[in-house]
Amino acid sequence: MKLHFHGPAADLHAMTAQCSTLWRKLPECYEGVLGWLDCTAATEGYVQAVKEKAAQWRSFADTLVVVGVGGSNQAARGVIDALGTENGLEIVWAGNTLSAWELQKILERLKGKSVVMHVIAKNFETLEPGSHYRVLRNWMEGRYDAREMARRVVLTGTEGSRLHEMAKERGHLFLPFPKPIGGRYTAFTVVGLLPIAAAGLDIDRYLQGGLDMQSLVNNGEDNPAFRYAAWRNAMLPNGFDTEMLVSFEPRFERLARWWRQLFGESEGKDGKGIFPAYSMYSEDLHSIGQYVQGGPRRLLETFISVQDDGGNMPVPLDRTSRDGFDYLEGRDFTFINRAAEAATLKAHSEGGVPCAVFTVDKVDEYAFGQLYYAFMAACAVSGRLLGVNPFDQEGVEAYKRSMFAILGK
Ligand code: PA5
């Protein structure tokens, strides 16, 4: 994976070195939240159990409902939405909304399917996954007996939580949510691994991507994570307080949502933080593109670019229609998409938008492993550069308190 910068720039040398120091000092500053630093430790030895369960499910079921919200589903969803489920179970995402309409749609989608379920809820207090688990549990219990339920349901939560007790009472496999890892840093734990494996994707390659990035980050300051963290923080004093993650591969939209949660929840505190947004190009160039080019100079733009998109889709010959697109004849859409990307990067960076470009070789499990680890490492040091705690999220409790008061909890 490569990282390049375009447009307004700053000397990043000193700040990149500072990132390296902050990274080394993380364990001195935080206790009980750094279990994700080592991808192997993050899996807590559950890789084999995950593979076995996923293989068993794939042998008899066709649909996996993943119940979870925020950090408890975004990483897996990013990978699965981009890579598909051709070799595995269809995935239905639940527990991430309070919309009655959405929940009805979920139940409709499950009709006639052989359903298995992975419930992920760290504290088992969050309203969305807790309430959806109840509905889906009732729905499944109406179709499967206790023995069937036992093999069809896996619960992931904190050891000792009520969810853990329920797993014991019902004979479900319980895969623990690692204590020293907050939701949005769980990409390489069972939280991310089981849905990805059930979708038929290669979790070894995914973990390898994470591990390779981990060793890059631990072996010196010249790595994409520190350079990226330094870049966004070097630009902030010049008024660049909003960052947009963009890609010409729309299948990265869920990765962008994962990234937005990671940075938004980690940095937005104490009146500080770079606001994380995202757009998918070229579609959004026809809406937000005008703002990026002509609006206030406060946007940072971070591209996720792909070297080999695996596409092979030439524009067909058509000499009779005179539709005005003959100049594209024989050109592949990969070439056309690249041209649009290069043109956008040039126009935006020359127009005063600082741009960072991450380029991955392919859209595959390995690339996701690299990207996730790089962004998590970048987020941790970026939060430190900003002077906030990147591992708490006190702010989200405020709305919950008044919501629970209304609901009479
Ligand atoms: O990053 C975080 O800690 C949060 O986004 C949580 O992942 C999210 O709120 C879900 O929490 P829980 O798994 O406890 O339901």
At residue 394, the pLDDT reads 87
pTM over 0.85: yes
- What does each C-alpha distance from 370 to 2, 214, 239 come to in angstroms? 11, 8, 30
DSSP codes joined into one string, 140-186 = HHTTS-HHHHHHHEEEE--TTSHHHHHHHHHT-EE----TT--GGG-
Question: Which of 126, 134, 392 has most ligand 1 atoms within 8 Å of its beta carbon, as the pocket-test mutant?
Answer: 126
Q: Name the residue with tokens 């109406």.
A: 142
pLDDT at 397 (0 to 100): 84
Distance 264 CA to ligand 1 centre (A): 13
157 CA: nearest ligand 1 atom: 13
Question: Which residue's alpha carbon is at the smallest distance from atom 9 of ligand 1?
Answer: 70
Residue 396 is predicted with a pLDDT of 87
What is the full DSSP assignment across 312-366?
Answer: --BPPP-SSS--S-GGGTT-BHHHHHHHHHHHHHHHHHHTT--EEEEEEEESSHH
User: pLDDT (tens digit, 9 = 90+) per residue, 128-154?
Assistant: 999 999 999 999 999 999 999 999 999
CA–centroid distance, 183 to ligand 1, in Å, is 5
**Closest ligand 1 atom to the C-alpha of 123?**
14
pLDDT at position 398 is 87
Gyration radius of the chain over CA positions: 22
β-strand 299-308 against 355-362: which pairing, if any? parallel
Q: How far is CA 344 from the centre of its chain?
A: 24
Nearest-atom number in ligand 1 for the CA of 185 is: 1
What 3-state DSSP class applies to 5? strand
Structure tokens at 22: 């902050």
DSSP string, 205-232: HHHHHHHHHHHHHHT-S-SHHHHHHHHH
Residue 64, H or E segment: strand 63-67
Instruction: Decide if 133 contacts 95 (C-beta within 8 A).
Output: yes
Residue to mutate, 122, 128, 179, 267, ligand 1, most ligand atoms under 8 Å from C-beta? 122
Give the contacts of 3 (CB within 8 A, at least 6 positions apart). Answer: 224, 227, 228, 356, 357, 358, 359
The answer for residues whose C-beta is within 8 angstroms of residue 169's C-beta and 6 or more apart is: none
Non-local (6+) Cβ contacts of 399 within 8 A are: none
How many angstroms separate the alpha carbon of residue 132 from the centre of ligand 1? 15
Spacing, Cα 361 to ligand 1 middle (Å): 31
CATH code, 2-28+206-317+327-390: 3.40.50.10490
d(CA 394, ligand 1 centre) in Å: 12
Q: In what order do the strands lie in the sheet with 63-67?
A: 90-94, 63-67, 115-120, 153-156, 173-174
Q: Starting at the edge strand that comes first in sequence, how are the strands of the sheet with 299-308 ordered?
A: 2-6, 355-362, 299-308, 242-247, 275-280
Query: Pocket around ligand 1: residues whose beta carbon is below 6 Å from it?
Result: 69-72, 121-123, 126, 129, 182-184, 265, 393
Residue nearest to atom 14 of ligand 1 (CA): 122
Which atom of ligand 1 lies closest to the CA of 184? 1
The predicted pLDDT at position 192 comes to 98
Classify domain 35-201 by CATH architecture. Answer: 3-Layer(aba) Sandwich (3.40)
Residues classed as catalytic: 265, 286, 400
DSSP three-state, residue 43: coil
Which residue, 358, 378, 252, 363, is CA-closest to 2?
358
Nearest protein CA to atom 2 of ligand 1, as residue: 183
Please state the atom number of ligand 1 nearest to the C-alpha of residue 69. Answer: 10
Atom 15 of ligand 1: nearest residue by CA position:
121
Say whether 273 sits in a helix, a strand or coil.
coil
The angle that helices 365-386 and 253-267 make with each other, rounded to 10 degrees, is 20
Q: What is the pLDDT of residue 320?
A: 94
Predicted local distance difference test score (pLDDT) of residue 9: 85
For 281, which DSSP code?
Answer: T
Instruction: Give the distance (Å) from ligand 1 centre to CA of residue 93.
Output: 15
- Give the pairing type, strands 153-156 and 2-6: unpaired
The alpha carbon of 120 and the centre of ligand 1 are apart by a number of angstroms equal to 9
307, 360 Cβ separation under 8 angstroms: yes
Query: Where in the sequence of the chain do the CATH 3.40.50.10490 domains occur?
Result: 2-28+206-317+327-390, 35-201
Pocket-testing residue among 36, 72, 258, 379, ligand 1, by greatest number of atoms within 8 A of Cβ: 72
- pLDDT tens per residue across span 201-236: 999 999 999 999 999 999 988 999 999 999 999 999
Cα 346 to averaged position of ligand 1 atoms, centre (Å):
38
Atom of ligand 1 minimally distant from the CA of 261: 5
**Positions in the chain short of pLDDT 50:** none
